Amino acid sequence: MDPITMAVLAASVLAGMAAASWAGLKAWNGWLELKKMELAQSVGDRGLPPASGRIEIADLRERVRKLEAIAAGIDI
């Protein structure tokens, strides 16, 4: 093989690897930015839980109250 052909081939491979590395880095930075936005949004949404969640919590509290009454020997 001709040395010039080998140099051109090596340069092309190097340029291709550089382009692939750059694209991977941009994708990684985009993914990190997406996760940062998701975390920021989830921190801001910590107000009241949805109505169905509040109803489920109320049901669980009622069950606990009944179980405590049974454990204490009180008839409800």
Q: How far apart are CA 47 and CA 25, in angstroms?
A: 36
- pLDDT tens, position by position, 10-67: 999 999 999 999 999 999 999 999 999 988 887 666 665 666 777 888 889 999 999 8
Per the CB < 8 A criterion, the answer to whether 66 and 76 are in contact is yes
Q: How far apart are CA 9 and CA 29, in angstroms?
A: 30
pTM: 0.50
Would you say 57 and 49 are in contact if contact means Cβ atoms under 8 Å apart? yes
Per-residue model confidence (pLDDT) at position 33: 95
